[in-house]
Copies of this chain bind each other. A is one copy, B any other.
Amino acid sequence: MCPFAPRFASRMANVNPSVIREILKVVSQPDITSFAGGMPAQDLFPADELAAAAQAAFRTPEITLKALQYGPSEGYPPLRAAIAAQLAAEGIDLTGNQILLTTGSQQGIFMLAQAFINPGDEIVVGSPTFLGALQAFQGFEAHFVTVPLDAGGMKMDALARVLEHRQPKFIYTIPNFQNPTGLMLTEERKAEMYALASRHGVPIVEDDPYGDLYFGPQRPSAIKALDHEGGVVLLRTFSKVLAPGLRVAYAVVPDAIVEKLIPLKQCNDLHTAALTQVMIAEYLATGGLEAHLARLRTEYRKRRDLMLAAMDAHLPEWCSWTRPEGGLFIWVTLPSGLLAAPLLEECITKEKVAFIPGDAFFAHGGGENTLRLNFSNASEAAIEDGIRRLGRVMKAARPQLARS
């Protein structure tokens, strides 16, 4: 008998295979049109530029050494400097803040959970919210206090009531083009959230993987830009704007906690891959990011438009959906008796099209009649055709609903 098996720590009771991971395994066959994943468009990776950046990381003995030897836990200094310059240009004051590189934003979320959550601590999350964050917080035995979302993002009256009665460790929010809904926290609510949190002395974890993927005239603002007392940790990533396989993201962290977070990073994995950090610094130094982002925004916007048009044309009038102004996702709400999980089964077997049932994103259950569609990682033809097929299954499902 494996002597490890009976020895798991208590916290592992909460660590289980993710529903989404299991679905993604099933729908990864090439004959399935999948709107299920949360992946950036593989046809839009700046592959030639990143190949050139990889070569640049070996161009002199000095830089090769930075790419191959152990590096600082907080990250590669030139990359930290380039990030700082970008943040300053956005009005995010780095005085009293430091930039810590992480192995993807998932690690940033994870380390904040590890650093702050005692078993039983409460964390405020949107309902729905990003499953990977729920899993990281559950892994340290957090309890959740959920705040509903409406068209303007997390509802501030509900948040205000929570903060009057509870002492959560922090508020976790994805203000821009939220996963899974695609919704924005309005600019007014960002200010309101910061003011509320500040008044109650509750910190905010601002997870912003999608903010650069806006379809409007400008990047939505960061809550962090309002913060001059160290009340916000901002998480950003190169996964959605360059390539997730590089596993490079960063946290903007108040000075008051950085002396704990650097040793924590060291304890977790010493540092994020040096080579991929050097590559990104080299890529940024070419000045190519802005043009690449402009292309991504144009293409993602085109795919969103196509998907919304196809939905308008093919989905039954009894379901509704968000019309996101950026990001990767559209969120669909079915009539309350129609369940997304069996609908997915039907979609896969009958029409070879897939999505993610929405209930996985709700910390306290619910949302069984919701689903998430990804528009970034599918071709234009697949979007039109896949949504038509989804509509067929939905229409056929309605009689079942009437029967039940």
Size bin of chain A's contact surface: 35 or more
Closest to A135 in B: B267
A244: B residues at CB distance < 8 A? 68-70, 270, 274
Most buried by B among A4, A16, A201, A247: A4
**A 39-54 binary contact with B (CB < 8 Å = 1; else 0):** 1101001011011001
A104: B residues at CB distance < 8 A? 269-270
Cα distance A102–B103 in the bound complex, in angstroms = 11
A48: B residues at CB distance < 8 A? 58
Question: Is there contact, CB below 8 Å, between B69 and A42?
Answer: yes
Cα distance A203–B7 in the bound complex, in angstroms = 9
Closest to A136 in B: B267
A164: B residues at CB distance < 8 A? none
Tell me if A88 is interfacial: C-beta within 8 Å of chain B. Answer: no
Tell me if A89 is interfacial: C-beta within 8 Å of chain B. Answer: no
A136 vs chain B, min Cβ distance (A): 5
Tell me if A8 is interfacial: C-beta within 8 Å of chain B. Answer: yes
Partner of A68, one of B3, B45, B67: B45
Tell me if A82 is interfacial: C-beta within 8 Å of chain B. Answer: no
Question: Is there contact, CB below 8 Å, between B269 and A106?
Answer: yes
Partner of A54, one of B5, B11, B55: B55
Interface residues of A (CB under 8 A from B): 1-5, 7-12, 15-18, 21, 37, 39-40, 42, 45, 47-48, 50-51, 54-55, 57-58, 61, 64-71, 73, 102-104, 106-107, 110, 114-118, 121, 132, 135-136, 139-140, 169-170, 197-198, 201-203, 229-231, 233, 239, 243-247, 254-257, 259-260, 262-264, 266-276, 279
Shortest 6 CB-CB contacts between residues of A and residues of B: A2-B230, A245-B274, A2-B256, A68-B243, A51-B58, A54-B54
